[in-house]
Amino acid sequence: MAGFDWPVLMRAGMQGLGLSSDQFWGLTPAEFRLLLGENAGAAPMGRSRLHELMTSFPDFRKEMGQ
């Protein structure tokens, strides 16, 4: 299970929202999400978009003549 990206969350709360350290650490995750906005962040990527990106940006390049 992946943990939280604390530096990103702290920047969003303290720099982005202007919260003090005490205010940030006193929030529940639900309260923090509400402050960020209902549609904050990127939408989850679907399988078709992932396939499109993998096709456009492969991890390797085929050598000439192969």
Per-residue pLDDT reduced to its tens digit, 14-62: 999 999 999 999 999 889 988 888 666 666 778 888 898 899 988 876 6
For 19, phi and psi rounded to 5 degrees?
-80, 150
Check if the beta carbon of residue 21 is closer than 8 Å to that of residue 14: yes
Domain boundaries in the chain?
A: 7-36
Question: In this structure, is the dihedral angle defined by the CA atoms of residues 38, 11, 2 and 31, taken in order, positive or negative?
Answer: negative
Check if the beta carbon of residue 32 is closer than 8 Å to that of residue 19: no
Does the pTM exceed 0.85?
Answer: no
Residues in the chain, total: 66
